[in-house]
Structure 1
Amino acid sequence: MMSIGNVTLKVPRTRNGEFSTTLFEKYARCDQAFVLSMLEMVINGVSTRKVTNVVEQLCGKNVSKSFVSSLTQKLDPIVNAWAERPLNTTYYPYVFVDAMYIKVREHHKVISKAVYIATAITEKNTREILGLSVDHAESLESWSSFFKQLKSRGLQSPKLVISDAHMGLQKAIQREFIGTAWQRCNVHFKRNIIEKLPKKDTAEIRVMIKRVFEAVTIEDIRKFKDELINKFGTEARFEKALAILDEGFEDTIQYMNFPENIRMHIRSTNSLERLNQEVRRRERVIRIFPNTQSAFRLVGAVLMQYQDTEYSKRKSLMGKNS
């Protein structure tokens, strides 16, 4: 009996008893390869039902969904080892953090849980996924707990943390990373401003907003921002949009204090959002995770694969748009 079904073998009899079971070992290796193939299907977003159908077609034997689900538990030690690996051998000057929400069954009901993900750029200008956590909705305490987990693995305070403007997240960064600057995501910030503009007759102010964030020096950014405020500051219909611009401006131009060749890579969380979209594509097949551990297992496996297939291809960010 093997993990994927029954295999019937005739065992030869010899007079001197020198028969060895190397044939069994060969089948065991094939069995292991088959299991790993099934796990890869699951990680790549193939539903349990479809994996079950594939197994039945190949093996000619009915298997249950619970059997396929139990096989995925083989990922636990692999994912856990990756998620707990030391981070003290490399310095990460730029760290990106974000959270996405998934559905999980807990205590006989479906609840929403946050998946916290951190990525980074190393001193060699390569990207790396630092870790993840599945926890309750975003809060100061949840974000602090995630950062403490990363620090317990050896993460040193980065020069800059890039994120959206969630209040609990901002406070957690200040609490856990003393002396670290915070970069508010440039893309989210511009979107927040645009959303507060009137529906009509905004072409000119939109052009000037774009001009502000396309400036190549910090002096020009501040100059263009002041010109924008002076031109439209007295118009009541732009009051809300300009208030957002003024309030979050300095936090959104922190990237200008760093070397020019790295700025485009650290001004927003776009790279992390692309990673989240890849996780979402695989997660959408499952829809509702049976428990928190299964969510951690799948998301962790997807992140590991993404690190190996996407980030490892890029030896350096310099000279590349990412």
Structure 2
Amino acid sequence: LVRTGFEHLYEVYEKIDPKGARLLEESEPYVLTYLDFPKEHAHWIRTNNLCERLNKEIKKRTRVVGVFPLKQAMLRLVGAVCINQNEEWFVATHFMDKRSLLFEELPQREACTQETIDHLLQVIDSDFKVCREVA
């Protein structure tokens, strides 16, 4: 369903902005990587909460300093925050179970009905119509 929606999105976008559509097409393997993960990981990878949390922590630490005397000082502080956050994620017991990534063959996902696919394509088309009207 997601891949069908992505392909339709590309076709619609190609008519509006061919250069942007090419960029979208080139990014497909990266954008849809999450589909290759086991289903039990969906909770962790469906959003970018990890990135948001990291950015929040960086903002919190840099606001205390205010103005950095040198670029290197800012890089050291942000690097230290990133290293600290990485260590916290590494030892976290509630994060993804790495053993589940070792499966040779991933379980098959449920097939979508044609009705669901048609509904998705209608949503994409209507969203683009709204965007064109706003622009």
TM-score, scaled to structure 1: 0.23
Give the structure with the larger helix fraction.
2
TM-score, scaled to structure 2: 0.47
Give the greater-gyration-radius structure (CA).
1
The answer to which structure, 1 or 2, has the higher relative contact order (CA under 8 A, 6+ apart) is: 2
